[in-house]
Structures are given as C-alpha cells and as structure tokens.
Amino acid sequence: MNWQKEAINDLRCHEKRKAAMESLADEIRELRSRTYGSSAPAADAVPVQGGTSTAEGRWIAAIDELERKKEAYRITKRQVEAVERGLAALDEQQREILDSFFINRVQGHVSALAEKYHVEQSRVYQMKDQAVRNFTLARYGVAEI
C-alpha cells in the first residue's frame, strides 16, 4: 500500500467528509423525528390479511435507514478525527502547506506560498513533500513501505 497516496487522498477528501458529517447529522435528526416522533406510524396497527402492515414495513425500513446513516456518520467522523490528529502533529507551516496543496487548493498556491515564506517555488515543493511525509507518519505510523 502506498501510504503517502492514502494520506494525500485523506487530505483531499477532508473538507468533503466534514460537509458529509453535517449532512448526515441533519438526515439522522430528520429520520429520528419521522421514525420515533409523533408523526411515526402506530406500532399497534393490525394488518388486514396476515403479514405485516405497510405502516410497519415503512417503520422497519426507516429504522434500517437510520442505522445505516448512523454507521456512515461514525465512519466519517473517525476519518475526519484521524486527519485532524495527523494535522495537529505538524507545525503551523506544514499545516498551511498541506492545506494549500490538498485541502483548500486555489490557483497560484505555489507562488503565494513561495512569496509568504521567501523561498523559491522548487523549495515549496520540497517543503510539501516533507509535510506529506510527516503527515503520513502521524496519520498511519509509516511513511514508506
């Protein structure tokens, strides 16, 4: 496994995962209110001809969907927290470099970083490579295999 590629992918997906957490939290709240709120189907509805009632079927489906969304939220939260811990292990300069290259990339990021740190653009790429190695080590415990 190429750990550095995994780390870069984690960084590129970081903001999207944070947005997904917000979206999933909203969906979970909505599903909870629909499933367990006052507008939820009556649990004592009796089917007319055996089997389950359609209301009961919808209720079971809603509970299943709620559980799947909760699991997706837990997984996404773990991924976001792992990236946050990896970034926290870096110094401010390395965090800013990774943010500019992978998390919130904008046009001209290399030039802006070179100007800010008073270095050549080639040095910015070297700094980026070092920041990726350090992040990979902090995130996965290995930098290269």
pLDDT at 45: 54
Contact between residue 86 and residue 7 where contact means Cβ atoms under 8 Å apart:
yes
Task: Report the pLDDT value the prediction gives residue 98, as an integer from 0 to 100.
Answer: 98
- pTM as predicted: 0.80
Per-residue pLDDT, 70: 96
pLDDT of residue 55: 77
Angle at 138 between CA 115 and CA 145, to 5 degrees: 100
Residue 108 confidence (pLDDT): 95
C-alpha of 73 from chain center: 9
C-alpha to C-alpha distance for 83 and 69, rounded to whole angstroms: 21
Per-residue pLDDT of the chain in tens (145 residues, 90 and over written 9): 899 999 999 999 999 999 999 999 999 999 998 888 765 555 555 555 556 668 788 888 889 999 999 999 999 999 999 999 999 999 999 999 999 999 999 999 999 999 999 999 999 999 999 999 999 999 998 876 6
What is the DSSP secondary structure assignment for residue 46, as one 8-state letter?
A: P
